[in-house]
Amino acid sequence: MRLNITPRAANLQYAIRDIVVAAKQYEKRTGEKPLYLNIGDPIKYDWKTPQYMVDAICKAANEGWNGYSPSEGEEKLRLAAAEKEKRVNGIDVDPNRMIVTSGVSEAIQFLTGALVESGSELLVPGPSYPPYLSYVRFFGGRPVAYRTIEEDDWNPDTEDLRKKITDKTIGILVINPNNPTGAVWNEKTLKEIVAIAGEYGLPLISDEIYDQLTYDEQQTPMVRIASDVPVIGFNGVSKVYLAPGWRVGYAYFHDNNGELDPLYDAMIRQARVRICLNATAQIAAATALRSNGDYLKETMRKMRERRDLIYKRLNDVDSVSTMLPEAAFYIMPKIDLRGRWRDDTEYVLNVLDNTGVVFVPGSGFGPEYGSGHFRSVFLPPPEMIEDAMNRLEDYMARQ
């Protein structure tokens, strides 16, 4: 059989899950289950989807929400999402200019499928969530990373951003709160990004999936300060509502005079081709978005405890240092390689081979600003974090 596999598919990478291949090989070789600190799925650990949401999805199925839904998403969910954005983030979004997607990942695919062509450049924070990098490349474009400053709590270097704008630039991506660093970007910096976008006539893509998972400093929604700069916003129920497997996300389009209508049209056409999202999950997600979020207080208490634990333990490890995350459940430590390892990928693989602890190489979040780092989650229970840190500390002490 003659198969001509396209380079765009053959060369796709996703560091967060690619490392699992090596973890499975470790398990096969040693017979021991690795300690997975690589993936941002709370349900893989000791977290549970709130019971009222579980009840809601069962109720939706029993009530007959089991057929196809509109390609743009059930109206009930779009209305709930708009209400949630107003109640939680203080912004007005139009439920009739919203597309329900299979998580934020599908929203990224639709966006890049609509905007990116050969030679296009999307400005992305460095380091950045890998699907943005992968999908831009998949459609023939180039992700251009602008610097975020580790010593300044990973806030963006707006002068670096400005310098990287060219006539090929199609937009500016903001991920706030941030994955992989756990940063919450300050409002002054966001206003500078808005000003730059307005000056060059570029749309802002604002990924705010971790909006309610902040510890001390609240995130500022981009729409609140964007003025007349068009914003495409991404959000969903995967993280805040502890339901990543439901795959319910949404994209909204915010402007003053319909500038984003062609983009909405191009993205909804892709949504029609994939038919629709799971109707049952959408109806249950509407219930989640309309809830008062009582469970979040305990969620953030537990998360803070685990964040503080891993932060302290990592900074006690030889040749490892890290900033304190302000949101989400990720931490991005720096490694002093000192010639002992060729790069962060070799380091992470050696840690896995010698300890069974699974991290993600920092270069998987962009080589320019992720290299020399690794990303860990702190979702596991404290005893698992302690075990992983003990193993890492012992390994590093032998190097």
Query: What percentage of the chain exceeds 70 in pLDDT?
Result: 100
Residue 165: the pLDDT is 98
Give residue 78's identity as a one-letter amino acid code.
Answer: R
Quick: pLDDT tens for 359-385: 999 999 999 999 999 999 999 999 999
CATH class of 51-289: alpha beta
Dihedral-angle region of residue 37 (phi above 0 means left; psi in -120 to 50 means alpha; beta otherwise) = alpha
3-state secondary structure of 157: coil
Name the nearest CA neighbour of 361 among 59, 37, 11.
Answer: 37
Which residue reads 């650990």 in tokens?
45
Strand 169-175 with 121-126, pairing: parallel
**Rounded to an integer, what distance in angstroms lies between the CA atom of residue 285 and that of residue 125?**
29
Residue 8: the pLDDT is 83
Residue 14: the pLDDT is 75
Is the model more confident about 12 or about 105?
A: 105
Quick: pLDDT tens for 209-236: 999 999 998 899 999 999 899 999 999 9
Burial (CB count <10 Å: 0-12, 13-18, 19+), residue 386:
middle
- Average of pLDDT values for 291-301? 93
Which residue reads 């969530």 in tokens?
129
Residue 11: the pLDDT is 78
Q: How confident is the model at residue 291 (pLDDT cuts 50, 70, 90)?
A: very high
Indicate the domain borders of the chain: 12-48+295-397, 51-289
Contact 163, 157 (CB under 8 A): no
Residue 266: the pLDDT is 97
Contact 17, 41 (CB under 8 A): no
Residue 240: the pLDDT is 96
Q: What is the pTM of this model?
A: 0.95
Contact 173, 127 (CB under 8 A): no
Quick: pLDDT tens for 154-205: 999 999 999 999 999 999 999 999 999 999 999 999 999 999 999 999 999 9
Quick: pLDDT tens for 300-314: 999 999 999 999 999
Q: How confident is the model at residue 4 (pLDDT cuts 50, 70, 90)?
A: confident
Contact 369, 145 (CB under 8 A): yes
**Rounded to an integer, what distance in angstroms lies between the CA atom of residue 382 and that of residue 165?**
44
| Per-residue H/E/C for 48-76 | CCCHHHHHHHHHHHHCCCCCCCCCCCCHH
Which of the four CATH numbers 3.90.1150.10, 1.25.40.10, 2.40.10.220, 3.40.50.1820 does domain 12-48+295-397 have?
Answer: 3.90.1150.10
Is the model more confident about 26 or about 132?
A: 132
**Rounded to an integer, what distance in angstroms lies between the CA atom of residue 300 and that of residue 197?**
33
Quick: pLDDT tens for 6-50: 888 887 777 777 888 989 998 999 999 999 999 999 999 999 999
Q: Indicate the Cα dihedral angle 288, 290, 294, 300, nearest 10°.
A: 60
